[in-house]
Chain A
Amino acid sequence: MIRAALNRLIGMLTVMLLVVTIVFVIVRVTPGDPAAVMLGPEATAQDIEDLRARLGLDGSLIEQFGSYVAGIAQGDLGQSIFLGQSVGTALWQRAEPTFFLTVFSLLIAMVIALPVGIASAYWRGSLFDQTMTTLAMLAASVPSFWLGLLLIQSFAVSFGWFPASGYGGPGTTLLERLHHLVLPAVTLGVVSSALIMRFTRASMLDVLNDDYVRTARSKGMTEWRVVLKHALKNALIPILTVIGLTAALLISGAIVTETVFGLPGVGNLIVSAVLRRDYPVIQGALLIVAGLYVLVNFLIDMLYLLVDPRVRY
């Protein structure tokens, strides 16, 4: 098992190195000089030269890559061009809304998806199953920004139940800030619930016909107990996998949702960075989000190794 875990660790580190390489390459594919592109047409030659030196663009590609990797290894994601602060600090300062948004969206997605997925699998082929499967597909077909705008129009503008945008001014209580997150979290949660629901249903279908489920039934257990104790317990690993990966992907969903609702989170920071071509911020955000995804994947693999002795890497 230790060998399998080591193999997986080496695999993860290789993928991380490739992620770093891809992030490094993305800025270098910019047509022309990235420093000139960032500063715009009014920049002087000296400004461009200074920025090139600041970004480390004046060395050879190998040197640039070496210093980039060395910086990351020391936790240095570089300096933002426009914010006057380090990328790490900029991301950290905006992490709270994104963190709460991700957690609440995931909770909403799970509350919708798990019971519906289990019930759909149990009553496979029924009208309920067909309706829910189609609704899940519908949820996956709705652009999150459009749904967000419709929710703002209904629940913020028409009914006035929730704030239409923002995260509350300085000095607002945590409860007030969370109140601002209700509509964004519902938007992201509904859209993300589709994938979890479909996986829950598929995973439950896999186990509901297994021998041990039949045995449990033949022992006279109640259906409730058979489904929730015997079947769900065994269907849980793939469901947890998709929940873990959804959590990592929600950060991407937050980019659009935060923009719609004017939340000052990481997603909003990324969009402003793209509009201003603040490449160090874009690179830092890419690296953190992809790194989280690789890490979640690795942790899930380790979990598999621990709970299922048949798994080998």
Chain B
Amino acid sequence: MAGTVSIAGQEPNLMMRLVSRPTALAGLVVLVVVSLAALLAPWLSTHAPGQLSIVNRLTPPGSAYLMGTDDLGRDIFSRVLYSGRTSLMVGFLVVGVASVIGIFLGLIAGFFRKADAPVSRLIDAMMAFPDILLAIALVAALGPSAANVVLALGIVYAPRLARVVRASTLVIRELPYVEAARALAVPTPVILVRHVLRNVTSPLLVQATFIFANAILAEAGLSFLGVGISPDIPTWGTMISTGRQFMSTAGWIMLFPGLAIVVTVLALQLLGDGLRDLLDPRLAKDI
């Protein structure tokens, strides 16, 4: 989630402070466990995720199959682990794409007075579209594929980051050290990256955490609607979509991927809340 933003100079301090908040710490621990489970899927899984076993189809959870099997006899536990890789990767990449677009728009709007009004109106217009609706329209236009889902969701969430970056940039551009850099004829791109961007990383990190959470939910929603990632690639959303047909006879098929989404998104929200309280006290009004 923080792939595109660094928290230079704050790591040890931030981690210590984060550990002192039980809910944020719980979020962080759960997130680390979920990420490790996804990363170590080849070693942790009990079966190959695509391994068919028609004789064992629709087996309830038990010792042979921890979370049961689906209609084709595939092991749900292993598929939940492998799907986590795709879902987390999509969330991570969406944050990356949204950051690139959002930081660019936010810096331009916040730093250059003449660009502020047009770019801000563009951000307002983009934010007028509900996320799922804009995402499915973009995927419909670009074509359904994992890359296009990431691109669409990145575009959908970019304005949120742009607003945060713009608000911070407006304040930072008036600070004495930025004026001093200008007086010393430091090139504008250098000022933007070295002096402005480095100081907007805290609110960016907070927002990125929430976007990560929303991206996981949105990707699952798109997959469920059948307009997202191909059903052949296991994600938590496609697993729920497949399990829907067997809801009454084999509820575990959709239960466990759903729980995986809830646990991961809740962990991200708890972590994001904790980070906001620590890094952005102005916004830490218990919202």
Give A residues with C-beta under 8 Å from B.
11, 14-15, 18-19, 21-22, 26-27, 29-31, 124, 133-134, 137-138, 140-146, 149-150, 152-153, 157, 198-199, 201-202, 205-206, 248-249, 251-253, 255-256, 259, 270-271, 273-275, 277, 279, 282, 285-286, 289-291, 293-294, 297
Q: Which residues of A contact B277 (CB under 8 A)?
A: none
Q: B262-287 vs A: 1/0 string, CB under 8 Å?
A: 10011001100100000000000111
Instruction: Report the bound CA distance from A133 to B286 in whole Å.
Output: 9
Q: Which residue of A lies closest to B247 (CB)?
A: A153
Instruction: Work out how many contacts link A and B, with CB atoms closer than 8 A.
Output: 151
Pair A27/B269 contact, Cβ less than 8 Å: no
Q: Which residue of A lies closest to B139 (CB)?
A: A274
Give B residues with C-beta under 8 Å from A.
23, 121-122, 124-126, 128-134, 136-143, 213, 217, 220-221, 224-227, 237, 240, 244, 247-248, 251, 254, 258, 261-262, 265-266, 269-270, 273, 285-287
Instruction: Report the bound CA distance from A239 to B53 in whole Å.
Output: 54
Instruction: Report the bound CA distance from A140 to B8 in whole Å.
Output: 31
Q: Which residue of B lies closest to A125 (CB)?
A: B286
Task: Please name the 5 residue pairs, one residue from A and one from B, whose CB atoms are nearest each other, closest first.
Answer: A252-B130, A18-B125, A146-B258, A141-B265, A141-B266
19 pairs, CB–CB < 8 Å, chain A vs chain B: A19-B129, A30-B143, A31-B142, A137-B269, A142-B262, A143-B258, A149-B254, A150-B258, A202-B285, A202-B287, A251-B133, A252-B130, A253-B132, A255-B225, A256-B225, A271-B227, A274-B225, A289-B130, A293-B129
Least CB distance from A136 to B in Å reads 10
Least CB distance from A39 to B in Å reads 15
- Given contacts A198-B286, A205-B286, 16 further A-B pairs with CB under 8 A are A30-B142, A143-B217, A143-B261, A144-B221, A145-B220, A145-B240, A202-B285, A205-B285, A252-B132, A255-B132, A256-B225, A259-B225, A275-B227, A282-B137, A285-B133, A286-B133
Q: Which residues of B contact A206 (CB under 8 A)?
A: 285
Pair A134/B23 contact, Cβ less than 8 Å: yes
Pair A202/B286 contact, Cβ less than 8 Å: yes
Q: Which residues of A contact B217 (CB under 8 A)?
A: 141, 143
Pair A252/B131 contact, Cβ less than 8 Å: yes
Secondary structure call for the A interface: helix
**Which of A27, A201, A252, A277 has a CB less than 8 Å from the CB of B286?**
A201
Q: Which residue of A lies closest to B264 (CB)?
A: A141
Pair A270/B261 contact, Cβ less than 8 Å: no
**Which of B132, B142, B143, B251 has a CB less than 8 Å from the CB of A153?**
B251
Instruction: Report the bound CA distance from A274 to B136 in whole Å.
Output: 7
Instruction: Report the bound CA distance from A19 to B122 in whole Å.
Output: 8
Q: Which residue of A lies closest to B267 (CB)?
A: A141
Pair A275/B226 contact, Cβ less than 8 Å: yes
Instruction: Report the bound CA distance from A31 to B144 in whole Å.
Output: 12
Pair B273/A290 contact, Cβ less than 8 Å: no
Pair A157/B269 contact, Cβ less than 8 Å: no
Q: Which residues of B contact A27 (CB under 8 A)?
A: 141
Q: Which residues of A contact B139 (CB under 8 A)?
A: 274
Least CB distance from B30 to A in Å reads 11
Instruction: Report the bound CA distance from A47 to B142 in whole Å.
Output: 22
Instruction: Report the bound CA distance from A274 to B133 in whole Å.
Output: 10
Q: Which residue of A lies closest to B214 (CB)?
A: A140
Given that A31-B142, A141-B213, A142-B262 are known contacts, is A14 also in contact with B133, CB under 8 Å in the complex?
Answer: no
